[in-house]
Structure 1
């Protein structure tokens, strides 16, 4: 029985790659390997049955749905019927209930595993000319989504202290590390909205093993914390972010590298809640960072000048203008997240009606 099930699984994987993912010239077949899809399928908690809407078929229908101009469930099922007819298979019902139920049974881990698989394979094929000064740049940012107020959602993602059951949606925090060169997700995570260890920086620490020595991590103000910048530098990863609102840059101090460009020593904070006492004592008393002030003169931007902080200390490796241009690319992360989590996109995806709560960087 096990051998026959494995054979059916492999046939479905091949069908998914060849039929659903190669349509209209999409490149997914090159990055969705059979082994990778089988690994993603292991994230489904219960064993799948040999029925029409298996996890892999459901994934294929879902991908075709969100990539098509008509994203309705009815059109998605109609495309599946046409596909089965072309393969000489018995057509399934045109009702959408079975598809929607199958989609709802797929756990977050399954979609996350597929996203990682695609993203990492795409990133591995990036042309070196797309890199920034020969280095891979990764973006990190977080956002929040709200879900239907069900008992299961509240148990997994509890309401915050000021939310009343029955009148509020269950919130969750999401975060992703994205390749700047190809725009694909390298790793992503989801956690509760509030509570100890549930913030964006904590979420980043769960994901940053995907970063390699030599990478540059591009983030918002939350990424300019003393501990995070230092720990990433220890891993060989440089950071570029906007200076935190809790700090003030004084360009009269430090080692001057040019106009509004200097090196400054940051002292270790007297207390750090994100690490234990033993880890705190092992941290150095200070480390050096670089601060540059740049003016934003593009119409539509509220801020007239910003301070970018980085652990790239050598101006020969990156000039002030190059750092400013790189930080400007971070806004792609904001717009991509808005596209992926906006209500008009989520209305036709699992858990339709998600509501994204964007915050200012």
Structure 2
């Protein structure tokens, strides 16, 4: 008879019908007490103990963000897979839908408000520049199901093949560029543009921050609103924007005004060289940091490149977590619930990664693999592992796996912005080179022209 191995494990979860309410090891960042608090504040706590208590439903919604490609009954099976031997409810799809409607979006929004913000670690590598927390604001579109209810609030946009795609919502986030943690977010119909939503993110800015913005946000009223919070701005503007030259500085920048705000203007040329040749572009940056000695122009130009971290955040949310899928919810209320659940899930993953890299002095959070953290979290949820902490473990399984396989320092690379997967192959024009090349970058500061 062949020898065999038998493996058994113990799990520690909440008692009774609350047992399925967990998020694996991520429960340490979203503990029972936090969920109960937001449910109490939003009036979402159940009046009697059900097979699906409200706390369990909140964790179900968060688990749904970890497993976006499956139905809610399959999500439930993953929540309960590690609870063998316990008396666990087996709800129908209809019961799960009713429970999600009963809880609503407010508790998920409450969780997001409690968790949003920069990682708490002191001195995390790459988060600050000359003492300022580096942040960025940008927007993206997310597709929602093409249901009559969603069509009443969200409009369709033309797709690559000329037809109408799914209805979309507009999401804007304020991120900490060093850790890609979310400081704030706002979303709604695409009938409102990015500059209509952006002022609602100003509430989360304060002294000691610098906000990086692209040309779409170079709006006088927005810059003035950010400045009133004590935060600083570094924004790209159109090259032909007329800005008066009030004083010239030795580093090539000049003093000017944007409305009622004193600003510095930096004109530059950036040349990217690869084995395929060289490409030069002209850029005009405007900043509220007006002292050229404390904040040299060349450093500001390099700092502006960090704005792309918010684009990477959207890549992680839309491509890595969602896999390019449309959201599930078929009503605007359900969409709001799902988006807040997705933001909470992304935030706790990012916090877990930041906590891990903070234990290694000098380790840049950029080197932490988001895919490793995401897939480890999925595994631990299915196992119902580390739901309740029984020993002191500052890093955890997620952190250990991330630290064991840190990525190399980011190389200087260039890649043209192209559609990698068009809806219609007949819509492509010409030959698209998708090769990633190693690059060298040179910066030349230009003398700002007098208008």
TM-score w.r.t. length of structure 1: 0.69
Q: Which residue of 1 aligns with 2:76?
A: 77
Q: Which residue of 2 aligns with 1:308?
A: 285
Residues 140 and 176, structure 1, Cα contact 8 Å, conserved in 2: yes
Structure 1 residues 1-361: aligned runs within 5 Å: 19-22=22-25, 26=26, 29-30=28-29, 34-35=33-34, 38-39=37-38, 42-43=41-42, 50-64=49-63, 66-67=65-66, 72-73=70-71, 75-85=74-84, 88=86, 90-93=87-90, 98-99=95-96, 102-103=99-100, 107-120=104-117, 123-127=119-123, 129=125, 130-157=127-154, 169-194=166-191, 198-244=192-238, 247=241, 253-258=245-250, 260-266=252-258, 268=259, 284=260, 287-297=262-272, 304-342=281-319, 344-345=322-323, 347=325, 350-351=328-329
Inter-CA distance 179–109: structure 2 relative to 1 (3 Å threshold): farther
- Partner Cα separation in structure 1 for residue 240 and residue 149 of structure 2: 38
- What is the CA-CA distance between 1:202 and the residue it aligns to? 2.4
- Partner Cα separation in structure 2 for residue 115 and residue 218 of structure 1: 23
Residues 158 and 170, structure 1, Cα contact 8 Å, conserved in 2: yes
- Partner Cα separation in structure 2 for residue 48 and residue 150 of structure 1: 32
Q: What is the DSSP-based 3-state SS (H/G/I as helix, E as strand, rest coil) of the residue aligned with 2:174? A: strand
Inter-CA distance 82–295: structure 2 relative to 1 (3 Å threshold): same
- What is the CA-CA distance between 1:54 and the residue it aligns to? 3.9
Inter-CA distance 71–215: structure 2 relative to 1 (3 Å threshold): same
- Partner Cα separation in structure 2 for residue 95 and residue 298 of structure 1: 59
Residues 138 and 173, structure 2, Cα contact 8 Å, conserved in 1: yes
Q: What is the DSSP-based 3-state SS (H/G/I as helix, E as strand, rest coil) of the residue aligned with 1:117? A: helix
Residues 143 and 173, structure 1, Cα contact 8 Å, conserved in 2: yes
Residues 144 and 327, structure 2, Cα contact 8 Å, conserved in 1: no
**Aligned pairs, number:** 312
Runs of 5+ in structure 1 lacking a partner?
A: 1-9, 161-166, 269-283
Q: What is the DSSP-based 3-state SS (H/G/I as helix, E as strand, rest coil) of the residue aligned with 2:266? A: strand
Q: Which residue of 2 aligns with 1:280?
A: none
Q: Which residue of 2 aligns with 1:4?
A: none
- What is the CA-CA distance between 1:216 and the residue it aligns to? 0.9
TM-score w.r.t. length of structure 2: 0.57
Deviation sequence 1:66-121 (CA, Å, 0-9, x none): 447x95346533222224436x3x2333865654665576645444433332232x
Deviation sequence 1:110-135 (CA, Å, 0-9, x none): 44433332232x53345365322211
Give 1 or 2: higher helix fraction.
Answer: 1
- What is the CA-CA distance between 1:39 and the residue it aligns to? 1.9
Inter-CA distance 141–255: structure 2 relative to 1 (3 Å threshold): same
Deviation sequence 1:117-157 (CA, Å, 0-9, x none): 2232x533453653222111221111222322333323344
Residues 177 and 187, structure 1, Cα contact 8 Å, conserved in 2: yes
Residues 141 and 333, structure 1, Cα contact 8 Å, conserved in 2: yes
Q: What is the DSSP-based 3-state SS (H/G/I as helix, E as strand, rest coil) of the residue aligned with 2:81? A: helix
